[in-house]
Structure 1
Amino acid sequence: MKSVYITRCIPQVGIDLLAQHFNVRVNERPGKLTRQALLENIKDVDGVLSSGTDKIDAELMDLNPGIRCFSNYAVGFDNMDVAAATHRRVLCTNTPDVLTDSTAEMAWALLMAVARRVVESDRIMRTRQWVGWEPQEFLGGDITGKTLGVIGAGRIGTSIAMKSRGFDMEVLYSGRRHNPELEAKLNARFVDMDTLLQSSDFVSLSVALSAQTHHLIGARELALMKSTAYLINTARGPVIDEAALVEALKSKQIAGAGLDVYEFEPDMVEGLELLENTVLTTHIGSATHATRNAMAVKAASNLIAALNGDMPPDCLNPQALD
């Protein structure tokens, strides 16, 4: 019987599904698996169900040439050297679609929380510092009728934009191509990124991390934004130059930021934690019971297909089998 290794303790539904087909070994220790532990545990397996925090590279593949598939428990796959896998005829998969709405909801949670200063107000209340209602206390930004700019209008970016309908917002978007759905349903406008940054009251990032998108938002881009604008990131941390963001927030160059991901995750650039005009969450964009269960089933199903000799539904490199 083939064997698989699961690098993080995913929901049981995924483990049980794999156990119907293979011998399954699970890393049950909390926290990111160390590189050494990863190297040691993949030596005798046929497939790996990895997480987005595992570096899947040539060294790993060459250590065990018998591995046929790395199934990523994430939609992003910047942790995987897909080209190296393709060269070695190893399949790579991810978990698209099932976390689209939950991540988009998280973007909206951050947007509303930072604009309306929810976390600041909550902190004052919990520490019993509130002395009563004041006309000028915790004034934030309006959302209804404002302009939402979405950078990266793929599945998640589209979902974020579509959820703006209840707020009667103008929608701008930028990316590699036009999005007919957004234009037809929201009268959204496709613009270059500079125009989007200059015109938007809220800028939401939904791009994949690549060499082209690393530090996509830096000092220059932040300087283009309105002083009343908010930046939201549920994509990948390194898309933003975090040091430049801290300076922009400290100087009130922009009004605030809502971040679920960080450039040096799980750490963050010094000073970010001290800024009141931020909402900072712990990479919980897909963290709902239903979504994480669905991710587990999808990742397991991809691995089962690959190890049974079939094409996985969410294969990133089908040419590996050519």
Structure 2
Amino acid sequence: MVACAAICGENRAMRVLVTYGGYSIDHPDAGGTLARAGLSAEMHPRQSDRTPDELSALIGDAVAVIADADPFNADVLERAANLRVIARTGVGLDSIDLEAATHHGVIVTVTPNVNNETVADHTLALILAVLRRVRLEDARVRAGGWRAFEEPLGQIHGRTVGLIGYGAIGRAVARRIEAFGARLLVHDPFVDAAEVELTALDDLLAQSDIVSLHLPLSPETLHVIDADALARMKPGAVLVNTARGPLVDQAALVEALVEGRLGGAGLDVFETEPPAGDAVLALDRIVASPHIGGISDAANLAMSRLATGSVLAALDGRAEGTVVNPDALRNAVWAR
């Protein structure tokens, strides 16, 4: 059992804040494991973008957070006096100030390679939903209508698909795209060599019937698809984003769709989440989903198990496995 008397008092279990709504709190390998270790897990799922003040209030005296994409900035980390570990579900680190976490001795971990295939599946689902007009055709049938040949439907086979980003998820999408018999183009500013020929971004945008984004969010990739990039895309092309909302200038995307320059878009992520009331949701050519690309029953349990193990290891003073800032232990007063 993890000892907690030094910071919690003898009669209190250490708090673990859980902001990832898919955490398997009732599974013996996840929430059950925390309970057996003498830890008290509290679920506060992230349903929308939180402010740093809101996050700080939730953290309180917690020693660990099993986290969704919450804003762990320098101020939040400064105020989290007891925090020892942020176990991020997924691999996105754009919401965590790693330098500040390391300075304050807070270990940060991720759960890599457990939902790559899930995101890839969802990417194909959005591509097909846009090309096949699934949302609109479903509404037509429910309203008593039937097929309309004057509204053409698209397909993947024989088309050119451009992937921007070729990490683990991009590669998983590529395998699926090639199985459809499509031509594949790849651009990744962070990859020097790959098993496929890399393409300049301008060439990819100009040639692709479908463009799918699989980059991390960083200052370099913010609005990688802006008004200029949208103008360079092939007329009638489809844009899909299952990565991070701010990769796309959403207002510019709305303009391109309203003007008919693009054929449609499939969006699992948005600049502001949830995007309630945003103009993008009023467009028929948009297929939207609520940032669920990486979620499945299998992926949730795998992420929960990994995050749980990371919390226990960190509280035991071990920076191992999926830790992204091992130097944090050198600054951790609690580990000395």
Say whether the fold is shared (TM-score over 0.5). yes
Q: After superposition, give the CA deviation of every residue in 1:225-280 in whole Å (9 maximum; x if it has no partner).
A: 11121100000001000000000011111111100000111126732112111111
Within a 5 Å distance, the mapping from 1:265-276 to structure 2 comes to: 265-267=273-275, 270-276=278-284
For 1:29 and 1:249, the matched residues in 2 are separated by 33
Q: Percent identity?
A: 34
Describe the SS at the equivalent of 1:190. Answer: coil
Matched, 1:117 2:128: no
- Aligned 8 A contact 1:57 1:84 in 2: yes
Describe the SS at the equivalent of 2:234. Answer: coil
Paired residues in the alignment total 312
Matched, 1:162 2:175: yes
For 1:280 and 1:227, the matched residues in 2 are separated by 21
Aligned to 2:68: 51
1:24 to 40, 51, 65: 40
Aligned to 1:289: 297
The structure 1 segments of at least 4 consecutive aligned residues displaced by more than 6 Å after TM superposition are: none
- Aligned 8 A contact 1:171 1:189 in 2: no
For 1:16 and 1:127, the matched residues in 2 are separated by 47
> How far did residue 216 of structure 1 move?
0.7
**5+ residue gaps, structure 1:** none
Amino acid at match of 1:270: D
- CA RMSD in angstroms comes to 1.9
> Please, what TM-score do these two structures have when normalized by structure 2?
0.87
For 2:303 and 2:202, the matched residues in 1 are separated by 35
1:62 to 75, 78, 88: 78
- Aligned 8 A contact 1:301 1:312 in 2: no
> How far did residue 179 of structure 1 move?
4.6
Within a 5 Å distance, the mapping from 1:134-173 to structure 2 comes to: 134-136=148-150, 138-173=151-186
For 2:84 and 2:115, the matched residues in 1 are separated by 25
1:97 to 90, 97, 113: 113
Amino acid at match of 1:99: N
For 1:35 and 1:84, the matched residues in 2 are separated by 14
For 2:165 and 2:44, the matched residues in 1 are separated by 35
Aligned to 2:215: 207
**5+ residue gaps, structure 2:** 5-13, 331-336
For 2:264 and 2:54, the matched residues in 1 are separated by 40
> How far did residue 106 of structure 1 move?
0.5
The more displaced of 95-104 and 19-28 is 19-28
Distance 1:40 1:254, change over 3 A: closer
Q: After superposition, give the CA deviation of every residue in 1:45-75 in whole Å (9 maximum; x if it has no partner).
A: 32222211x2112222222333221111232
